[in-house]
Amino acid sequence: QVQLVESGGGLVQAGGSLRLSCAASGRTFSSIAMGWLRQSPGKEREFVAAITRSGGTRLIAASVSGRYTISRDNAKNTVYLQMNNLKPEDTAVYYCAGKLGDDSRLSNPKTYTDWGQGTQVTVSS
């Protein structure tokens, strides 16, 4: 099992930036594909971004493309989500998630087997 701990959420004005971090432990980090997903009140959890185990392929949801960037540092066992030009509709709880040993179907929230506790991102207008 993988333990995931997010940090970096908070309150920011529209147009601002935040960087989320997710520290992983319990498994060899380079064997875990990583994703970021978010959930707003009354909505289903939705895919935001994902990165394969090697970091060679990145997936980004259309709603955040051009504003968000996912990256990972396998030496630090950490995945990041850089969020720029934030909008009020980006307000949500953001979750880090992991999938051990497989890079397939990373845009499907149901593919992930391990989840962090979530970090709140609030964007004011």
Distances from the Cα of 82 to the Cα of 12, 26, 28, 97, angstroms: 14, 24, 23, 16
C-alpha dist (Å) from residue 92 to 8, 102, 122 = 13, 27, 7
pLDDT above 90 (res 1): no
Report the pLDDT value the prediction gives residue 84, as an integer from 0 to 100.
98
Q: Which of 47, 16, 66 is CA-nearest to residue 112? A: 47
Give the pLDDT confidence of 23-76 residue by residue, as tens digits. 999 989 999 999 999 999 999 999 999 999 999 999 999 999 999 999 999 999
Mean pLDDT, rounded, of the chain? 97
SS3 of residue 109 by DSSP:
helix
Q: In which band, very low, low, confident or very high, does the pLDDT at 11 lie, cut at 50, 70 and 90?
A: very high
Predicted pLDDT of residue 14: 98
Distance CA(111)–CA(113), nearest Å, equals 7
